[in-house]
């Protein structure tokens, strides 16, 4: 069975349509202002409505305040909240109690110790998204982590991988890690924040969708 595929950082109706047409199971909307993939809440709500029931919609937040988190969830009503900053298990648990959305936590996978440290999210996060360690930006940098860290690892939570995935390497990444979900953003762009419809199609085909 092919993995789930999330196309993240979508900004236009055309990009949403392309992701759905070519078989994405999830899309991501980025509400982190410094990112070239940032969309305001009005735009995010429009894109979320366009997606309808065809895919699950994740709203990406980075160290958002309690007020902003509440505003974003009320405006967009995503299926998933993807926390991509330094959010604590306690904060995720508090949000989980108040909203029906799935809780995903992105974690920079540096070494084997990271795999132990993510256990603090057990029972709180619905999915752990392993990404390249954060640099100037928390994700979307096109940098990959060492996939061998996940080889034969026994996971206690649902999980997925992101970071440096492209149409050219996603099949290799799936084979190396056994990932049940792959997440791409910069790997299907023609420029930062500008999705390429042909690359979206190629990525989804390479991932087996």
Helix 197-206, helix 13-21: angle, nearest 10: 30
Mean pLDDT for all residues in the chain = 94
Task: List pLDDT tens digits, range 140-161.
Answer: 566 789 999 998 899 999 999 9
pLDDT attached to residue 68: 96
Which pLDDT tens digit goes with each residue over 173-184? 999 999 999 999
Q: Counting beta carbons within 10 angstroms of the beta carbon of residue 192, is it exposed (0 to 12), middle (13 to 18) or buried (19 or more)?
A: middle
- Name which of 3, 5, 29 is nearest 16 in CA terms: 29
The total number of structural domains that make up the chain: 1
Q: Where residue 135 sits, what CATH number does that domain have?
A: 3.20.20.70
Range of the domain at 127: 4-206
Q: Average pLDDT in the 52-68 region?
A: 96
Minimal CA–CA distance to 82: which of 166, 17, 138?
138
Each residue's pLDDT tens digit, 18-35: 999 999 999 999 999 999
For range 54-64, the mean pLDDT: 97
At residue 1, the 3 state secondary structure works out as coil
């Amino acid at each position: 069975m092919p993995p789930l595929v999330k196309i993240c950082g979508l900004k236009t109706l055309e990009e949403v349509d392309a992701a759905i047409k070519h078989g994405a199971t999830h899309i991501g909307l980025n509400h982190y202002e410094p990112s070239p993939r940032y969309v305001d809440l009005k735009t995010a709500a429009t894109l979320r409505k366009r997606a309808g029931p065809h895919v699950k919609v994740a709203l990406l937040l980075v160290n958002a305040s309690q007020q902003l988190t509440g505003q974003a969830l009320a405006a967009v009503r995503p299926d998933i909240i993807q926390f991509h900053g330094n959010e604590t298990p306690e904060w995720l648990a508090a949000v989980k109690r108040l909203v029906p959305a799935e809780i995903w936590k992105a974690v920079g996978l540096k070494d084997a110790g990271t795999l132990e440290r993510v256990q603090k999210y057990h029972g709180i996060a619905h999915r752990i998204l392993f990404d390249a360690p954060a640099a100037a930006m928390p994700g979307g940098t096109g940098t990959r982590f060492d996939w061998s860290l996940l080889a034969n690892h026994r996971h206690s939570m649902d999980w997925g991988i992101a970071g440096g995935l492209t149409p050219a390497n996603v099949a290799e990444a799936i084979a190396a890690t056994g990932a049940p979900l792959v997440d791409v953003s910069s790997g299907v762009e023609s420029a930062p924040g500008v999705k390429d419809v042909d690359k979206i199609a190629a990525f989804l085909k390479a991932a087996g969708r």
